[in-house]
Amino acid sequence: MKPVYFDNAATTELRDEVIDVMAQVLKANFGNPSSSHSFGRSSKSLIEKSRKAIASCLNVSASEIIFTSGGTEADNLILNSAVRDLGVKHIITTKIEHHAVLHTVEALQESHNIDVSFVNLDSKGNLDFNHLESLLQTETKTLVSLMHINNEIGNITDIKHVSNLCKANNALFHSDAVQSVGHYNLDLQDIQVDFIAAAGHKFHGPKGVGFAFIRKNIGYLKPLIFGGEQERGLRAGTESVHNIAGLEAALKLCHERAEEEHEYINGLKLYFINEIKAALPGVTFNGESENLEKSTYTLINVCLPIPANKSAMLLFQLDLKGIACSKGSACQSGSNKKSHVLSEILSGDDLEKPSLRFSFSIFNTKAEVDYVISILKEFA
């Protein structure tokens, strides 16, 4: 069996079409986009073409798309700017956000003395919307930061409902949409979120590039990175033209093929769920990841009925068998700490059992699912 890659929530394989676009740009469009000669103008034209295409996918204006190095930078830009430039004194979030949000909020609390509130969650990791609404009852300038799809357990947050609550209470709304952009067709005229963050490598695009959506007329924002006037003055530094072109190509392909690819990957997820339940009685699913309506079609997070003496080196043993999956966010892979997401929602007993995240893409097959299940049975 060739190696099986079930860690698509960490990063995805580039599509061949994206590689072709990037290679062509690297070869033919090497000019600095800030240069006034024809080489520079050619690169600048490509960037603006990509900006318009990406904006069209989200039904927003091109001026509302700011290219960044990825989702983490986009989250940092948005949260810092909201506090520093827009006068936000209160941030509402949850304890299961990505660390790009949580660690930024912690730093802002320390440096700017802002108030931070955490929305209550149920045992599946779902938001208590009544509690959120009560937290919004304040005269303090507030920003709500809630991810659209949780990167570890796959729960989908109704961000349209959240945006309506925020508008009704004069609060700003930011959503880390890294796990949803490219997988769901978001209409940001229908969903009145003020800010989102996205990353190309989560939907078969290149690493090192993403974008922030910042709704127009939100107020004057200053950059995090100072230097030139690139990206409307919000993000200094020479743009990575080939990465931006690859980002555009990947997002357009995802939108064009959304229905068929969603159906295929959702079928893989359902097949995995049924097969692992049959093979490992006692397996449970963390968060809403088993629920096809309440979780993303791209991942599941399973709590395995495997004895402690067999689970200590489980990831390592799976790797030796050619299987790539994860315990949670790849950003925590160098840490010995348990998942902060699972720590919030699991009981002490379940937290001691091995939990694994398997995440899928168009490049995966049912034969790969069968192989993974057969290996997991050896540990039961």
Residues 205 and 74 in one domain: yes
Residues 81 and 182 in one domain: yes
- The per-residue pLDDT string of the chain (380 residues; one tens digit each, 9 = 90 and over) reads 789 999 999 999 999 999 999 999 999 999 999 999 999 999 999 999 999 999 999 999 999 999 999 999 999 999 999 999 999 999 999 999 999 999 999 999 999 999 999 999 999 999 999 999 999 999 999 999 999 999 999 999 999 999 999 999 999 999 999 999 999 999 999 999 999 999 999 999 999 999 999 999 999 999 999 999 999 999 999 999 999 999 999 999 999 999 999 999 999 999 999 999 999 999 999 999 999 999 999 999 999 999 878 888 899 999 999 999 998 665 555 455 789 999 999 998 899 899 999 999 999 999 999 999 999 999 98
Residues 27 and 103 in one domain: yes
Residues 47 and 60 in one domain: yes
pLDDT of residue 56: 98
Of 247, 331, 287, the C-alpha closest to 75 is 331
Of 340, 288, 283, 24, the C-alpha closest to 156 is 288
User: DSSP secondary-structure letter at 255?
Assistant: H
Residues 94 and 242 in one domain: yes
170: left (phi over 0), alpha (psi -120 to 50) or beta: left
The residue type of 63 is S
Quick one: tokens of 127? 């938001």
Quick one: tokens of 290? 């088993």
Q: Edge-to-edge strand order for the sheet containing 284-285?
A: 284-285, 299-303, 355-359
Residues 321 and 358 in one domain: yes
Backbone angles phi, psi at 37, to 5 degrees: -80, 180
In three-state secondary structure terms, 174 is strand
Report the alpha-carbon distance of residue 75 to residue 98 in Å, rounded: 10
Of 271, 261, 151, the C-alpha closest to 201 is 151
Report the alpha-carbon distance of residue 342 to residue 324 in Å, rounded: 20
From 57, 254, 303, 331, active-site residue: 331
Backbone angles phi, psi at 362, to 5 degrees: -65, -20
Of 215, 232, 256, the position where a domain reaches its end is 256
- Helices 258-279 and 241-256 pack at an angle, to 10 degrees, of 80
Quick one: tokens of 293? 């309506």
Of 218, 235, 256, the position where a domain reaches its end is 256
Domain of residue 316, CATH code: 3.90.1150.10
Strands 195-199 and 210-214: what pairing?
antiparallel
Domain of residue 236, CATH code: 3.40.640.10
| CB neighbour list of residue 73: distance below 8 Å, 6 or more residues apart | 210, 212, 224
Residues 243 and 327 in one domain: no
pLDDT of residue 218: 95
Report the alpha-carbon distance of residue 93 to residue 95 in Å, rounded: 7
Of 235, 256, 277, the position where a domain reaches its end is 256
Q: What is the DSSP string of 300-351?
A: EEEE----HHHHTTHHHHHHHTTEE-BSS-GGGTT--SPPHHHHHHS-HHHH
Q: What is the pTM of this model?
A: 0.95
Residues 127 and 43 in one domain: yes
Domain residues for the domain of 327 are 4-12+258-379
Quick one: tokens of 21? 């676009």
**Is 303 among the catalytic positions?**
no
Residues 103 and 189 in one domain: yes
Of 358, 361, 362, the C-alpha closest to 372 is 358
Residues 74 and 174 in one domain: yes
Of 284, 377, 288, 360, the C-alpha closest to 324 is 360
Report the alpha-carbon distance of residue 376 to residue 325 in Å, rounded: 12
Quick one: tokens of 193? 């979120």
Residues 275 and 202 in one domain: no
Q: How many domains, in total, are found in the chain?
A: 2
The residue type of 301 is N
Which ranges of the chain does DSSP label H, i.e. alpha helix?
Answer: 16-28, 38-58, 71-86, 99-112, 129-135, 159-168, 241-256, 258-279, 308-311, 314-320, 340-345, 348-352, 366-379
Residues 169 and 290 in one domain: no
